Amino acid sequence: MIHMIETCKKCGSMMVPEKKASHTLIKCRKCGHSEKRDIKDFKITDECKKEKIVIMSDDSVELPVTEKMCPKCEHIKAYYFLRQTRSADEPPTQFFKCINCGYAWREY
């Protein structure tokens, strides 16, 4: 069962569940406003799912290659990839790594 996030009617902040002995509340952490809820199969937990983060310490990932001059050794081929480093309405940042000397740079 999926529930939508509810917001406080007084201040607009997100309401969080709080289990009491006889019932369940949703409570605003900002202003303290609370509302009683009848929620079946409702589970409150302090556990957090942790995602595994993979750190690549070597160059084992095959990246695409483009013709881009390295500012350090002037070799004309470099690996490249794009990342959205700013807001969504801005273009992505281009990252390059020289195939010859390994120098890395970025262009906005």
Among 46, 47, 89, 107, the one annotated catalytic: 89
Q: Is 90 a catalytic residue?
A: yes
Q: What's the CA gap between 27 and 35, in Å, rounded?
A: 7
Q: Is 107 a catalytic residue?
A: no
Per-position b or e across 89-100, b if 16+ CB within 10 A of its CB:
eeeeeebbbbee
Tokens standing for residue 106: 């970025």
Among 35, 59, 74, 90, the one annotated catalytic: 90
Q: Which residues are catalytic?
A: 89-90
